[in-house]
Structure 1
């Protein structure tokens, strides 16, 4: 099986723990669904948040989805003044036996502007 990296991002309306969990769970589900994956195919997920999101960790939302055995990590994005605000990004590493060109990256809500070429 080949290891592939899958990118994704979503934008939040506000920095609220429940909203962060909803949007993070939606993003993770969409990444898995778009690539036909179950959680057993995941190797790890790295989450990043823009500095304006501090209500909780996106990894906590993933753990609440049942991903307690998947290595998860969170980091803060570089604080670029012109960056899109309130964004959670992820890079999931998964066993995915398709060519790199067939990996489906997922950009939701306001984050679609980050990669219009990849947004669904």
Structure 2
């Protein structure tokens, strides 16, 4: 069965190096916390808020060893008044037998405020 694993992080600056580092850290923690094997990843959607313009966050994935064939798409997050700024969100679609309540969603930096109900 395919299940979605959510994750989000924020950056302080719209700088390529920082965006790529934080995205890589987020993806790594999502994989680690859920014991994911790369072959089990069906696809990944990555969105960024409109104030991040220096680089596609998905570029981080392309620099990670073994991730060459993981399908990924980047998109812009909705520009909602009062929403968290400089935020990168990930939806990872994974083949797993885990129950929905066993999935560990990962929120880092200021993004921890997005889903406090999912904090483990």
Give TM class, smaller chain: over 0.9
Q: Which residue of 1 aligns with 2:6?
A: 7
Match of 2:113 in 1: 113
Q: Identify unmatched segments of 5+ residues in structure 2.
A: none
Aligned-residue offset at 1:38: 2.0
CA contact (8 A) 1:107 1:118 kept: no
SS of 1:9 mapped into structure 2: strand
How far off is 1:39 after superposition?
1.4
Secondary structure class of the residue paired with 1:40: helix
Compute the RMSD of aligned alpha carbons.
0.9
Q: Distance in 2 between matches of 1:111 and 1:94?
A: 22
Once residues 109 and 4 of structure 1 are traced to their aligned partners in structure 2, the CA distance between those partners, rounded to angstroms, is 24
**Mapped pair 1:52 → 2:51:** yes
1:82-103 per-position Cα deviation (integer Å, ceiling 9, x unaligned): 1100000000001111111111
Q: Tell me the TM-score normalised to structure 1 length.
A: 0.95
Counterpart in the other structure of 1:93? 93
Alignment-derived partner of residue 70 in structure 1 = 70
Residue 104 (structure 2) aligns with? 104
The corresponding residue for 2:60 is: 61
SS state at 1:58 partner: coil
Q: Which runs of 5+ in 1 are unaligned?
A: none
Shift of 1:119: 3.3
Q: Which runs of 4+ in 1 moved over 3 A?
A: none
User: Deviations along 1:52-89, whole A, 9 cap, x unmatched?
Assistant: 00111111100101312000000001101111000000
What CA distance in whole angstroms lies between the structure 1 residues aligned with 2:68 and 2:86?
Answer: 25
Q: Which moved more, 1:58-67 or 1:46-55?
A: 58-67
